[in-house]
Amino acid sequence: MKANEKSGLAGILRAHEAEILEEWQKEQSAGQPRRDQLNDAEIRAASREFLGGVVEALNASGAVDMRSDAWSKVRDLLAELSASRARQGFSPTETATFVFSLKRPLFGLLRKEFANDAQKLGDETWNATILIDQLGLFTAETFQKTREQVISRQQRELLELSTPVVALWDDILALPLIGTLDSGRTQVVMESLLERVVETGASIAIIDITGVPTVDTLVAQHLMKTVAAARLMGADCIISGIRPQIAQTIVHLGVDLSAVTTKASLADAFAVALDRVGARIVKNAAPA
Amino acid sequence: MREAALNVAIPAVTEQPIRSSEDMVRLRQMVRDRAISAGLSLVDQTKIVTAASELGRNTLIYGGGGKVIATSLEHGGRRGIRLEFCDEGPGIPDIPKALSDGFTTGSGLGLGLGGAKRLSDEFHIDSAPGKGTRVVIVKWRPR
Amino acid sequence: MERIPILRMGRQLLVTIQVDMHDQLALTLQDDLTRRIVADKAKGVLIDISSLDVVDSFIGRMISNIAAMSRVLDAKTVVVGMRPAVAITLVELGLNLEGVRTALNVEKGMALLQEADR
């Protein structure tokens, strides 16, 4: 965009603000089947703010480079809008329509403004297109990122649900792991185990991997690091439920388990743990 | 949630001296603050602050004093922090050995380079006798 | 000069480290502890690090030194309250606090020391 061309768009937008907003609202509603979810006042306010921000940015920077500082207010606005639409479950198209629907009213305005100057009309239309495309794409990208964040938050929540830390006894926690472990998941789970150890003051944590079909090097390493970390904190870990295949893998990988107590079953591990904390389970005498 | 920019590195840089043990305290605080604003998890914050403490100590004690240059990174939507430790000290004669040395108890040097490397996502070292030392570490926030 | 306070509880000494220590403070603590173990005829030292959000090799060495000096003076050392993030980092760092017993909190640490003292 050349220096004297920038004032074209900014000036036009400012001069015809009310008109553009009106037209733009209409376009937005036409493309928005779920209007019941957004109230009109909200849309109007967001649109006005956005337009204002665009004019400001165009005046300040003279160029449509979305990445520059002059555009940070507009970016923030779009990011906020896009993120909230993503969270509410709108589609990317519905969300980007906020920006793209500005094209028709803007082009209409340009046609009127430059009715007698085909060259200028062509140039300004091109500038307007670039501007709106960049803004629209940015909106779509932010939408995408927010969606990814929502998904990963849901994954974490699912993870927490599926790996509860159980207080078996006053001083004894158990963490029954179920399903395939990947490095990332193992790390998260191990960190939360250690947090629970601190919270409950449990001296022993039993990590039961009966429900884990396979274990790779990274996971085995995470397990060992967790055991070492727990020991540094003043708690002990017992690993139970190691299947024959996993035992082979672990030995094969050269992981040194000599410093860790391992038991075949959770029940065995619990018995050992009870013994260590000085407790015993006693059967009641048979009723006479 | 605010997204600052697309694929642009936004350097916000600070430089601090490492010439006294008060500087070490300031170093740790600065790195902690930066790690928090990069959105690192608590464990990752702790790792990078600890790595910085190790490298800072090397700079101070082995390097005879120097400085740290801290940069906040943003690349492809991912945020991170970069720390560069520089000194004009004697330089490290045998880098592979220094990287593999464990910690020595007592008053030995125990360079802690290997530890700092393990705690970071990226690690670069530039050092030779008579040429001083430059160590760079980077920690990213996972996507 | 600032120093870290050392409290006495029976035959045990209790130290709570709450600040990011600079070198001089750490050295002063080691000196003070050694003197107090002798002066109070203490049998145990409990170091509470639950306020520390970073433990690097320098602090690690300080703790090991304290444990070693206590042992020479016939006292035991227990470190309590290490935070999970710190523990995970120390494991990665490769620091294993030789000769130092650990417990989850002050209560358990004291129990450990008193038991050892019997």
pLDDT, tens digit (0-9, with 9 covering 90-100), for A49-58: 888 888 888 8
Q: Give Cβ neighbours of residue B66 (< 8 Å, ≥ 6 apart).
A: B17, B18, B19, B59, B60, B85, B86, B87, B88, B89, B132, B133
As for the ipTM of the complex, it is: 0.92
Question: Which position has the token pair 């940069």?
Answer: B71
Question: Closest-CA residue in chain B for A145?
Answer: B77
Nearest by CB to C91, which of A197, A201, A232?
A232
Chain C hits for B112, CB-CB cut-off 8 Å, are: 56-57, 93
Of residues B48 and B96, more confidence is placed in B48
Report d(CA B35, CA A59) in Å as an integer: 35
Tally of domains in chain C: 1
Please, are residues B130 and B91 in contact by the beta-carbon 8 Å criterion?
yes
Angle, CA A222 vertex, CA C54 and CA A198 arms, to 5°: 50
Residue C14 belongs to some domain of the structure:
yes
Chain C residue numbers with beta carbons less than 8 Å from the beta carbon of B31 are none
Check residue A77 and give its pLDDT.
87
List phi, psi (to 5°) of A51.
Answer: -60, -45
Interface check A225 vs C, CB under 8 A: yes
Q: Which whole-number Å values give the CA distances from A22 to A12, A16, A78, C16, C80, in the listed order? A: 15, 10, 20, 67, 67
In the predicted structure, residue B58 carries a pLDDT above the cut 50: yes
- Asked if the Cβ–Cβ distance from B46 to C86 is below 8 Å, we say yes
Number of H helices, E strands in chain A: 11, 5
pLDDT tens track for A264-276: 999 999 999 999 9
Assigned domain for C10 exists: yes
- Look up residue C97 and give its DSSP letter: -
Q: How many residues does chain B have?
A: 143
- pLDDT tens profile B91-121: 988 888 888 766 543 334 456 888 999 999 9
d(CA A74, CA A50): 6
Residues making up chain A, counted from first to last: 288
Using alpha carbons, list the distances in angstroms from residue B35 to A132, B26, B112, C96: 35, 14, 21, 25
**C-alpha distance from A188 to closest chain B C-alpha (Å):** 10
In a 13 Å sphere around the CA of B94, the CA atoms on its Cβ side amount to 4
- Among the listed ranges B23-27, B74-78, C7-11, which one has the minimum average pLDDT value? B74-78
- Does B109 contact C at CB distance below 8 Å? no
Q: Is the CA virtual torsion A77, A83, A85, A90 positive or negative?
A: positive
Measured distance CA(A257)–CA(C37) in Å, rounded: 38
What pLDDT does residue B110 have? 58
Cβ of C55 within 8 Å of Cβ of B50? The answer is yes
Find the closest chain C residue to B50 by CA distance: C56
Tell me whether C46 touches chain A (CB under 8 Å): no
Domains and CATH numbers, chain B: 12-140 (3.30.565.10)
Task: Tell me which chain C residue has its CA closest to the CA of residue A234.
Answer: C103
d(CA A21, CA A47): 7
CATH number at residue C54: 3.30.750.24
Q: If you measure CA to CA, which chain A residue comes closest to C49?
A: A233
Q: Report the C-alpha gap between A11 and A20 in whole angstroms.
A: 13
C64 vs C59: CA distance, rounded Å: 9
In chain A, which residues have their Cβ closer than 8 Å to the Cβ of C103?
234
Kindly report the number of other CB atoms within 10 A of residue A263's CB atom.
19
Quick one: CA torsion of B45, B46, B52, B56, rounded to 10 degrees? 140
What are the tokens at A157? 């929540």
Return phi, psi of residue C41, to 5°. Answer: 50, 45
**Min Cα–Cα distance to chain B from A265, Å:** 31
- Give the CB-side neighbour count of residue C104, counting CA atoms within 13 A: 17
Chains in touch with A (3+ beta-carbon pairs under 8 Å) read: B, C
Report the residue from A201, A203, A229 with minimal CB separation from C87: A229
Contact A191 C84 (CB under 8 A): yes
Q: How many CA atoms lie within 13 A of B25 on its CB side?
A: 12
Residue-range domains of chain A with CATH = 3-154 (1.10.490.130), 166-277 (3.30.750.24)
Q: How far is CA A39 from the centre of its chain?
A: 27
User: Going along C29-90, which residue ranges are E strands?
Assistant: 44-48, 76-80
Q: Is residue C34 part of a domain?
A: yes
The HSE-up count of residue A198 (CA atoms within 13 Å, CB side) is: 17
Partners of residue A72 in chain B, C-beta under 8 Å: 4-5
Q: Find the residue in C nearest to A187 (Cα).
A: C88
Q: Which residues of A touch B8 (CB under 8 A)?
A: 67
> Which of B25, B86, B28 has its CA nearest to residue B52?
B28
Model pLDDT, residue B5: 34
Chain C positions contacting chain B at CB under 8 Å are 20, 22-24, 53-58, 60-61, 64-65, 84-86, 88-89, 92-95, 98
Rounded distance, CA C53 to CA C48, Å? 12
- The token pair that represents A125 in the structure block: 């239309």
pLDDT greater than 70 at residue C1: no
- C1: in domain: no
Pairing of strands A204-211, A236-240: parallel
Instruction: Tell how strand A172-178 and strand A166-169 pair up.
Output: antiparallel
CA distance B64 to chain C (A): 16
Predicted confidence (pLDDT) at residue B3 exceeds the cutoff of 50:
no
Considering only the beta carbons, identify the residue of B6, B43, B143 that sits closest to A67.
B6
CB contacts < 8 Å between B and C, how many?
A: 73
CA distance to partner chain B, nearest, from residue A239 (Å)? 23
Tokens of A246: 């996993």
* Least trusted range by pLDDT, from A207-221, B46-60, C96-110: A207-221
pLDDT at C4 over 70: yes
Please name the helix (run of DSSP H) or strand (run of DSSP E) that holds residue C101, with its range, or none: strand C101-103
> Which amino acid would we find at residue A75?
R
8 Å CB contact between C66 and C44: no
| Least Cα separation, residue A125 to chain B (angstroms) | 25
Name B12's bridge partners: B72
Q: Which residues of chain A have pLDDT under 70?
A: 1-7, 31-38, 62-64, 159-163, 288
Chain C (74-93) residues lying within 8 Å, Cβ to Cβ, of chain A = 79-80, 82-84, 87-88, 90-92
Instruction: Measure the CA–CA gap between C13 and C15, rounded to whole angstroms.
Output: 7
* Tally of CB atoms within 10 A around B58: 25
* Distance between CA atoms of residues A7 and A71, nearest Å: 16
Residue C62's closest CA among C36, C26, C86?
C26
CA A134 – CA A96 distance, rounded (Å): 11
Residue position matching structure tokens 């160029």: A63
Mean pLDDT of chain C: 92
User: Is B49 in the C-facing interface, judged by CB distances under 8 Å?
Assistant: yes
Q: Do B1 and A75 touch (CB under 8 A)?
A: no
d(CA B56, CA B19): 9
Tens digit of each residue's pLDDT (9 = 90 or more) over C18-59: 988 888 899 999 999 999 999 999 999 999 999 999 999 999
Cα–Cα nearest to A182, from A217, A225, A227, A226: A217
CB proximity A198 to C under 8 Å:
yes
Query: A216: helix, coil or strand?
Result: coil
Mutate to test the interface with B, among C17, C25, C92, C97 (most CBs of B within 10 A): C92
Q: What is the Cα–Cα distance from A141 to A46, expressed in whole angstroms?
A: 19
Range of C40's domain?
A: 6-117
Which among C54, C84, C92 is the nearest to B28, CB-wise?
A: C54
